[in-house]
Amino acid sequence: MPAIPVTVLGPHQSGKTVYLASLFHRLALQRSDTGFFIRLPQDQSKKLNEVYGEIISPDRWPDPTLLNEVSEWNFTCAIRTAADEVFTPFTINYMDFAGEHLTHAARTSEQERHIWKRIDESEFLLILLDGAKVKRCFEGDYGLIQELLPVFNRLEHSRAVMHFVITKWDLVEAAGYSVSQVLEQLLQHPHFQTIYENRLAANDTRGALRIIPVSALGAGFALPDGDNMVKQGGFPRPTHVEVPLMAVLIDLFEQNVRRLAAEDRAGHKAAEAEQQNRKLSWVRALQGGLPRVKVMLGAASVNQPAMRLLQQEFLGPFMDFVSRKVDDYGQQVERDVVALRDQVLQAKSEQEALTGLVALFEARLAQFEASHPGSHLGSGGV
């Protein structure tokens, strides 16, 4: 299977190189919670390992990508089965380049033309949003959106599947914001609202739209000090860095692989997990609205005996019911993920490995989306 081309777009200091190094380090070994690992050509593996070494060093950060640097990273997804066989069902080719190409005055060069040609032709675009700048949007500073306007302009010509990846999510989460709240805040800016509405309107032809929070370093490893990040010691503990990789595979093969997997038990389990996720998302949304319902009923019950009876006799048991449903669905999705991971480890061919990974990734994404409502903004007409 040919490599899936993915272009990583992000302004200067959005964390592109740190994200890729963290992705490599997180998935260099096959862990029980992922069920797969990634391989790179030896020179690329050494380079990202050097970058990671600079990340964990106490006194420096990796140098920013230079204007004349354009890097392509070939992440091959691999599975070591229970029979000690290794299958490599797909590869993602990530293209990375200096963010100044996106946000500064154009430099007419063959390299720049190559970059924009790749962007125009890409089937997948990961647009990295700096979490520190996302936080500033809540303070009325929308510089993040303004510097991305040239990118948004170019995206009007693109039919690519587009994922917004919020880096440094630990900073956003520590401030008390959810994915849904971030989206709501970004939509306050007319440029972002327009690109969002245009993409949703074209979902049938342009594919899925996601907003994925990731933390390449994890909570507590580095804290902001003005415009700089100061390391606090310890080791990075990346969060959700593999989710964009999973989403790329799912969104590319969503229709075809579901058809192939229709006769496969793993496919049925993945569909079941996805259905449970829809119910779980609904129940979570209902649970999130209950405090407002409680306040409204409390205010109405002052003068309305029927409302007082409803509040006293109905609301408590109903809230208990919703909480139990959330727990039940969450535990079921968790069990499905474990079962699908075990099935992947029994694969006997590249095709079985790919089909099993799709089922596993679908279940993992269902689990992720249930924990972060609003992250899957459009389904690409499926």
- pLDDT computed for residue 242 by the predictor: 93
The dihedral sign for the CA sequence 29, 34, 37, 43: negative
- pLDDT computed for residue 259 by the predictor: 45
368 compared with 282, residue with greater pLDDT: 368
Contacts of 298 (CB under 8 A, 6+ apart): 311
In the DSSP assignment, the letter for residue 140 is T
- Write down the residue that tokens 């370093």 correspond to: 217
- pLDDT computed for residue 292 by the predictor: 56
Span 129-138, pLDDT tens digits: 999 899 999 9
- pTM for this structure? 0.75
Length of the chain, in residues: 382
Backbone angles phi, psi at 349, to 5 degrees: -160, 165
User: pLDDT above 90 covers what percent of the chain?
Assistant: 16
Average pLDDT over all residues of the chain: 76
- pLDDT computed for residue 353 by the predictor: 86
Model confidence at 31, in pLDDT bands (50, 70, 90)?
confident
In the DSSP assignment, the letter for residue 188 is T
CA distance 280 to 286: 10
Q: Number of helices and strands (H, E) in the chain?
A: 16, 10
- pLDDT computed for residue 177 by the predictor: 93
- pLDDT computed for residue 100 by the predictor: 56
The answer to whether the beta carbons of residues 213 and 203 sit under 8 Å apart is: no
Residue 48's alpha-carbon distances to 17, 53, 64, 312, 345, in angstroms, are: 8, 9, 13, 60, 27
Core vs surface per residue 272-296: b (16+ CB within 10 A) or e: ebbebbeebbebbeeeeeeeeeeee
Average pLDDT over residues 294-312: 58
346 compared with 110, residue with greater pLDDT: 346
Model confidence at 142, in pLDDT bands (50, 70, 90)?
very high
- pLDDT computed for residue 241 by the predictor: 93
CA distance 66 to 21: 17
Count other Cβ atoms within 10 Å, centred on residue 132.
18
Span 269-301, pLDDT tens digits: 556 666 666 666 665 565 555 555 555 555 656
Model confidence at 318, in pLDDT bands (50, 70, 90)?
low
Contacts of 113 (CB under 8 A, 6+ apart): none
Span 204-247, pLDDT tens digits: 555 568 899 999 888 878 777 776 777 777 788 889 999 999 98
Residue 190 has pLDDT above 80, yes or no: yes
Among residues 234, 210, 32, 3, which one has the least CA distance to residue 127? 210
- pLDDT computed for residue 283 by the predictor: 58
> Encoding tokens for residue 34?
């992922």
Span 38-75, pLDDT tens digits: 999 999 899 888 888 888 887 777 665 544 556 788 89
For residue 136, the surrounding DSSP H or E stretch is helix 131-137
Maximum distance among all Cα pairs of the chain, rounded to whole angstroms: 76
Residue 173's alpha-carbon distances to 213, 215, 229, 231, in angstroms, are: 9, 10, 16, 18
Backbone angles phi, psi at 30, to 5 degrees: -80, 110
Residue 283's alpha-carbon distances to 8, 126, 322, 323, in angstroms, are: 34, 30, 7, 8
Among residues 68, 64, 65, 155, which one has the least CA distance to residue 111? 68
Lowest mean pLDDT among 82-91, 156-165, 173-182, 190-199: 156-165
- pLDDT computed for residue 229 by the predictor: 72
Q: What is the DSSP string of 190-245?
A: HHHHHHHHHHHHTHHHH-EEEEEE-BSS-TTSEEEETTEEEE-SS----BSTTHHH
> Encoding tokens for residue 96?
């990375």
Average pLDDT over residues 172-179: 92
CA distance 334 to 276: 11
Residue 25 has pLDDT above 50, yes or no: yes
CA angle in degrees (0–180, nearest 5) for 207-213-216: 120
